[in-house]
Amino acid sequence: MPKYVIERDIPAAGNMSVDDLQGAAQKSCAVLQNLGTDIQWVHSYVTQDKIYCIYIAENEKLIEKHSEDSGFPANSIAEIKAIIDPTTSE
């Protein structure tokens, strides 16, 4: 299945408490459970005003549906075409 990176504009995301982040994760997981097995959240990176999420999904529409149902914005959704890291240079 394709892998996606989702950019979410969330002002002051970097100031969220551990409890706030846990609540957001719980909400996301509850919505994902209702959407079925064609979408999976891998992990997210929290910066000061954005959260970047990595998802595996059958299609972009499932990610949009997750965004609508969870209330978390999906300001940008891009399919990941390749992954590189330092070992790519070898």
Within a domain: residue 90? no
Of residues 18, 78, 30, 25, the one with CA closest to residue 54: 78
Within a domain: residue 88? no
**How far apart (Å, rounded) are the C-alpha atoms in residues 16 and 53?**
16
Query: Domains in the chain: how many in total?
Result: 1
Q: What's the number of CA atoms in the CB half-sphere (13 Å) around residue 27?
A: 13
Within a domain: residue 51? yes
The answer, as to whether pTM is greater than 0.85, is yes
The interaxial angle of helices 60-70 and 18-35, nearest 10 deg, is 130
**Would you state the pLDDT for residue 72?**
96
**Would you state the pLDDT for residue 11?**
96
Of residues 21, 1, 3, 34, the one with CA closest to residue 72: 21
| Residue 90 tokens, joined | 């070898």
- State pLDDT tens for residues 11-54: 999 999 999 999 999 999 999 999 999 999 999 999 999 999 99
**Would you state the pLDDT for residue 47?**
98
CATH code of the domain containing 77 = 3.30.70.3090
Domain of 21 in residue numbering reads as 3-82
- State pLDDT tens for residues 64-79: 999 999 999 999 999 9
